[in-house]
Structure 1
């Protein structure tokens, strides 16, 4: 029996991913891959997973889930527009131009920077339990009141530019396993507050993507059991690390996890 090159690649990816604990279908379905555009912030660009090439401050990693999908599915064209630090306004001003009417697949992770979750992590590392809880409550309030409109604007523009594209909104994971194996670091009170913010953000992004008619890949489910403090140190997220900007971002295993979840949706 002869297998196509794409079928063999998909099988190899499944075996390799299973070796690091990533759930991927035994044989990813072979599909005709048209143009693929990857949008979003640092979670989409791959900050934290290394190997950024000549992408400058955008920190587009060769290990990012989008790049892995493009490598294994050989789309007719691939535009990797995601950029570290991006907010919804940046997607509209400098990323959606990569979308053309013939685009068949779009992935996007956005919203965390709008709600100030980078500042949340800084404040929680430097401040008291009460200040951390308060800062998380502020971020949650923003995510619930202001972020939905911003997401709606981005999603509407994506649909306007590519009416027939399949759009997958990739959500953020929880940062911590609570009552986990960490013997040092942030208090359990701080970790709980941060995870509550992750849940609020995830719920908002999920609801707005559904309203737009898009699919949602829930990062909380994809990373379950692999957060910081998970037993066995099988963490898919960096804790405090250097360079400091890579802290609290998916590492190489985390990007593999996202990729496996994406393959589980797209084949």
Structure 2
């Protein structure tokens, strides 16, 4: 069982704006790059990439009390892009993406644009608005409870599906992009979708090896005298292909909806 790798060619959903407010022509790709452009990375944990590599600043580690929760990782896509754009973007980049941020509280990040001339901005946002974190924790790292683990997982996925369909959230999404344009009218904004939770290489039914395994075992954490009934209530949900598909479908749905948003100007979606 493997997590789906992040294909960089699929990251760019759209590019918005230019110095004169028009969509740049195709000939721009042939222009010689100008070194030293300023790059600012905004978004949630998909951009921050918690768990991907090492902390960029080891002096700002999460302390368990929700302090420094924005500590960024050197395996994040903004940091991976940096060497790819070394002839274009100045190092270091301005990295303000923060784990857990939603559309409602991303304004602190957007304010970083005020009074600054930023050439390139990347944005990854909305996963927390659609409860991706809840889905992955409940459906992968089952903690047990009074209800069967599969029922809890199904309810979380259904709730995420309901949230994705709320037009109010998408109106808010468009408004945040408009705010970004207003803060930095001369720069270009790259909006990303999300990588799938799981590899697409899975069977149509729950008969693969992964479907018979748990991603996280907790029984060994308990002493021998701990009741088996309580042990079995924790970490009992197998990584069934059905659940993995449902989780991937939510991601694909969000990416499709992000790509279909009506913004003022846009490039075509970039594919592999």
Name the TM tier (shorter chain). Answer: 0.5 to 0.7
Matched residue, 2:52: 49
| Cα RMSD for the two superposed structures | 3.0
Quote how far apart the aligned CAs of 1:142 are: 0.9
Deviations 1:113-146 (A, max 9, x none): 1111111112223254344233212212211214
SS at match of 2:165: helix
Residue aligning to 1:60: 72
Give the direction of change, closer, same or farther, for the CA distance of 1:85–1:164 in structure 2 (3 Å limit): same
Secondary structure at the aligned position of 2:106 is classed as helix
Mapped to 2, the partners of 1:158 and 1:86 lie a distance apart of: 16
Q: Say if 1:168 and 1:215, in contact at 8 Å, map to a contact too.
A: no
Residue 137 in structure 1 maps to residue 158 in structure 2: yes
Aligned position for 1:156: 178
C-alpha deviations, 1:216-238, integer Å up to 9, x for none? Answer: 877xx67xxxxxxxxxxxxxxxx
1:36 equivalent to 2:36? Answer no
Indicate if the aligned counterparts of 1:170 and 1:216 stay in contact, CA closer than 8 A: no
Once the 2 structures are TM-superposed, how far is the Cα of residue 60 of structure 1 from its aligned partner?
Answer: 0.6
Say if 1:141 and 1:60 are closer, same or farther in 2 by CA, change over 3 A: same
What is the aligned partner in structure 2 of residue 96 from structure 1?
110
What corresponds to 2:265 in structure 1? 213
Deviations 1:148-205 (A, max 9, x none): 0221121111011111211111110111223276352311221121111112211222
Q: Does 1:195 align with 2:251?
A: no
Unaligned runs of 5+ in 2: 10-29, 61-67, 143-147, 215-238
Answer with 123-132 or 59-68: which moved more.
123-132
State the match for 2:98 in structure 1.
Answer: 83
The residue matched to 1:106 in structure 2 has which SS?
strand
Shift of 1:215: 5.3
Give the TM-score normalised by the residue count of structure 2: 0.62
Q: Give TM-score scaled by structure 1 length.
A: 0.63
Greater CA radius of gyration, 1 or 2? Answer: 2
Larger RCO: Structure 1 or Structure 2 (Cα < 8 Å, ≥ 6 residues apart)? 2
Cα distance in 1, alignment partners of residues 179 and 8 from structure 2: 32
Q: In structure 2, what is the Cα distance between the partners aligned to 1:45 and 1:131? A: 28
| Cα deviations by residue, 1:40-66 (Å, 9 ceiling, x for unpaired) | 011101212121123432131123221
Aligned length: 196
Residues 39 and 89, structure 2, Cα contact 8 Å, conserved in 1:
no
Assess, with a 3 A threshold, how the Cα gap between structure 1 residues 166 and 190 changes in structure 2: closer, same or farther: same
Q: Which runs of 5+ in 1 are unaligned?
A: 1-19, 223-267
Q: Structure 2 vs 1, CA of residues 64 and 157 (structure 1 numbering), >3 Å: closer, same or farther? A: same
